[in-house]
Structure 1
């Protein structure tokens, strides 16, 4: 990124991290948009809405919405303009990559790619899997986002056993049975609610010469993730589960596979010349 793109900043505004109202940043519940919403009943009348869908799509934090409102006037092309607004947007965009990398404890040379959501991120990684590198190993209880993209790419499913210990034994045997390029696992299952031991899974994968990908869609909103410390090679999650609007997702991980892959989407910005 040109040095000039790093300099502009959005003019000073009230603290973007401040929580509206009387709430404090360390309060148990941060303010969200839609709180106090009243909805109609089938039989008539209105009641305050009880949102029971947080696990699928969490509401937008008020602080996030307010920050977006502050930067919207500067909306412009990212990495494609010399004007002030474009440079501001480019700076914010690249700054967001750095924020995500810190949030997940990524390595210094990991790439941070913005996608549409977790499913899009998994499909991007599936398309970057090197030909001939080996199969993808995964458990049969994976979320569809971490199950269907691997079909047709040599996916080998391990049947989940009654206990975690038995499942890990079966997984280790499968990893040793034939060359594998990648172990794809959930960080927190939306089927059972279980959070598998990621560090141990990473060790099993690496011992077999494979890398590990973690679908952190359900994990990232609730637990700290440290990619480098745990040994995670690739990780994906969605903003819409993390109190962010507009449904953006992220894929973070080692650059070699991603740099060598053909562009996931052909078009503007994906070519050097035509």
Structure 2
């Protein structure tokens, strides 16, 4: 398997793990960096160690619509585009009534507007090339499940989940599959668990008893990007250790009101 994959938010966390696993699968990799150039260079080094090419470009999804041009810049630099993984994301922990419009718009820009514009550009290139392609959106279990204090994040991820399904309908005729991968709690910088082994962190309310690791999400992305994912489209792949299974049971076993804050 060879080709070109662009992964937004690939300087760390799930994006970095995805860049490495797709490089190992035979893809040249387009990497985007928001804050930490050194970490992006480390991602590129891992890609090159797998024998693939890597290109890095800056990306700030609050600077829209222009920021989405990074898709074309990386595709031009690498000679095409076969897979786009929308992984860049952000969030806040603020009750809806206290969320400022500025914060609301920032989360929606990064988590919904940006993926829309990047996917749009990717789809246009894939259609023009006539070889099909794969678009994979990293959403969250909060694509479908609400969380107190995460109104903006949940709204954005829910929107991206439905956008994924509409694009799957519209792009299927061109041989382009569009899917989402919905992680639960993953040990990454975004959850304040960078460089931690999730096997040492207890989560009694999760059937597997721990958070996930970035490479466990990346493995599912790789499946969707590879030959095994050729007839999968419009689907949401939950990678949460069974978290969503606990709904009513978790609720009936809560012993305090701590969840309200």
Question: What TM-score, normalized by structure 1, do the two folds share?
Answer: 0.37
Larger proportion of helix: 2
Larger Rg: 1
Tell which has more relative contact order, 1 or 2 (C-alpha 8 A, sep 6+).
Answer: 1
